[in-house]
């Protein structure tokens, strides 16, 4: 039913596009529209009850409106029609058969949702973000409300309940400390800070360096890239895991990454990237365990982000992939110790 589709989409960071239904009963809800931006694409889903005789007109009405307004945006618009039905008629199959070879400025894709799952006819993408999984989940999950408004309200309540920390000032404090130390490094012309506190090969003692090295950076580009990563993943860990877990994942994951890296060092190492990859692993595991997007980051995007980061370590000199991989693994493992309310 359309309400089940609406519930899955709203619980996964899709936003209603139109207030298209004032129906009081579930059986009266016959269309729902929601959207979500991911990268250069805006995904607009139009879920239509194909049991009703006017399902084509309803879809074409809203698709036409979205198509007319897409020229005002800089991103590609992907309109996905989801036709909910108990049985696929020849008419419905013909209407939803399409040929989509590549994404352009405006794309219209049509899927059919039956009690057995999603069916795609013609040459069309059969995977878009995690939308297919959400649609198939809607077949089993009972709606928590009898109208779109009730479901939207319940979705907002659930999302608020999942947020452990209403602010992210600990992330900003860590970022501030790292930035301040780099200012000290700039004026440290003898590089005393680096020689005294950067990580060194394992076996030379001074294990405190495996912690202090996280607050040192080689140059401004190194600093800014790590501050950006810390902001992206640190704020999400702090918001959904809490401040205590942010500190644990950052310091334990970062220290473990530094210690492992020191086993292979021949010189010195510095930077917070191992700790940031630990935070990245924690965010990815949260998305995997809850099957939800995390403030706009879905599981597929996070996996791609991690792969790009790890690939960069293999392509460019001076990047410590051992620390990255170790930090990522520790972040995943540590985050599994945190109990998540997956309602």
What does the domain layout of the chain look like in residue ranges? 2-162, 169-335
Least confident of 113-117, 163-167, 314-318: 314-318
Helix (H) or strand (E) holding 324: helix 321-335
Closest CA relative to residue 331, chosen from 292, 295, 302: 302
Residue 7: other Cβ atoms inside 10 A: 26
Query: pLDDT tens for residues 29-66?
Result: 788 999 888 777 888 999 999 999 999 999 999 888 88
Indicate if the pLDDT at residue 145 is higher than 60.
Answer: yes
CATH of the structural domain 169-335, one choice from 1.20.20.10, 3.40.1260.10, 1.20.1540.10, 3.40.50.2000: 1.20.1540.10
Closest CA relative to residue 127, chosen from 85, 78, 63: 78
In the chain, which ranges are E strands? 15-16, 31-38, 41-49, 76-84, 98-99, 106-114, 117-120, 122-123
Range among 17-21, 26-30, 183-187 with highest mean pLDDT value = 183-187
Place of tokens 């700790």: 275
Residue 180 has which token pair? Answer: 């301040």
**Residue 51 vs residues 27, 81, 149, 230: alpha-carbon distances, Å:** 11, 14, 23, 49
d(CA 76, CA 66): 12
pTM for this model (two decimals):
0.66
Place of tokens 């930077």: 271
Query: pLDDT tens for residues 181-191?
Result: 999 999 999 99
Residue 342 has which token pair? Answer: 């997956």
């Amino acid at each position: 039913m359309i309400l089940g589709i609406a519930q899955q989409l709203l619980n996964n960071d899709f936003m209603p596009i139109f207030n298209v239904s004032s129906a009081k009963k579930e059986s009266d809800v016959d269309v729902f529209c929601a959207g979500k931006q991911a990268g250069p694409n805006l995904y607009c889903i139009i879920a239509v009850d194909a049991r009703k005789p006017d399902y084509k007109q309803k879809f074409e009405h809203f698709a036409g409106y979205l198509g007319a307004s897409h020229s005002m945006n800089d991103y590609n618009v992907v309109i996905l029609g989801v036709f909910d039905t108990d049985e696929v008629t020849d008419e419905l199959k013909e209407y939803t058969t399409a040929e989509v070879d590549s994404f352009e400025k405006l794309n219209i894709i049509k899927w059919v949702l039956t009690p057995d799952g999603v069916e795609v006819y013609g040459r069309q993408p059969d995977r878009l973000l995690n939308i297919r999984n959400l649609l198939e989940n809607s077949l089993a999950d009972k709606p928590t409300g009898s109208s779109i408004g009730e479901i939207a309200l319940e979705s907002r309540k659930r999302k608020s309940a999942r947020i452990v920390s209403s602010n992210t000032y600990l992330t900003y404090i860590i970022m501030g400390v790292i930035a301040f130390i780099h200012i000290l490094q700039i004026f440290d012309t003898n590089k005393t800070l680096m020689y005294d506190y950067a990580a060194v090969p394992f076996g030379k003692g001074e294990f405190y360096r495996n912690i202090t090295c996280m607050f040192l950076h080689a140059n401004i580009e190194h600093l800014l890239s790590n501050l950006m990563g810390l902001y992206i993943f640190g704020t999400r860990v702090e918001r959904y895991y809490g401040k205590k877990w942010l500190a644990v994942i950052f310091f334990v994951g970062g220290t473990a990454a530094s210690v492992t890296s020191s086993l292979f060092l021949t010189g010195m190492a510095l930077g917070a990237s191992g700790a940031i990859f630990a935070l990245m692993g924690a965010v990815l595991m949260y998305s995997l365990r809850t099957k939800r997007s995390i403030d706009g980051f879905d599981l597929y995007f996070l996996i791609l982000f991690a792969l790009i980061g790890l690939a960069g370590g293999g392509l460019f000199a001076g990047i410590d992939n051992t620390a990255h991989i170790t930090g990522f693994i520790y972040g995943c493992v540590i985050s599994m110790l945190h109990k998540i309310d997956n309602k």
